Amino acid sequence: MIIRSARITDAKEIHRLIEHYANKREMLHRSLNAIFESIQEFIVIKTSNKNNNIIGCGALHISWEDLAEIRSLAIVEKYQKIGFGRKLVAKLQNKAKKLDIKRIFTLTFKPQFFIKLGYNIIVKEALPHKIWSECVNCYLFPDCGEVSLLKII
């Protein structure tokens, strides 16, 4: 199992994984184009078997001075609950640390997972207005049901 930065050749597999959960309303949809454009934000976990499939992905998106977002975090079902989600979040937090970013937030339908990793629920209004304007453009606005969480690292 390896964790590494995503490559452009991973984009379609990342897209398939996110779509799988978006269709179950566990994540928001992301277009393949959006994934190509933000491929440098992504990390992936891959198996070391012959097919070298992606078993998880996640992205760190810089939002503002001293603030970044963990987004598009997903682990293939059969590899869940064995610590890969935690590993990806730790790696994304390290990425933020290297950039001197100390505040990480996430918008998620799975708040309990992030609470386990030290994140605290906040009101969305505590986030910069810029993030709100992105929400306004979302197809699920205003009733997406996502919970906002923040961690100081």
Order of strands across the sheet that contains 103-108: 2-5, 42-46, 54-64, 67-75, 103-108, 147-152, 120-122
Work out how close the CB of 47 gets to ligand COA at its nearest, in angstroms, rounded to a whole number: 14
Per CB under 6 A, which region of 7-15, 60-68, 105-113, 123-131 contacts ligand COA? 105-113
87, 45 Cβ separation under 8 angstroms? yes
> Please, how many CA atoms are within 13 Å of residue 100, restricted to the half-sphere of its CB?
1
Q: Is 75 in the site for ligand COA (CB under 6 A)?
A: yes
Work out how close the CB of 28 gets to ligand COA at its nearest, in angstroms, rounded to a whole number: 8
* H or E stretch covering 17: helix 11-22
The token duo for 82 is 């064995």
Q: Is 68 in the site for ligand COA (CB under 6 A)?
A: no
CB-based closest residue to ligand COA: 85
Show the site string, 25-54: x = touches ligand COA by CB under 6 A, - = not.
-xx---------------------------
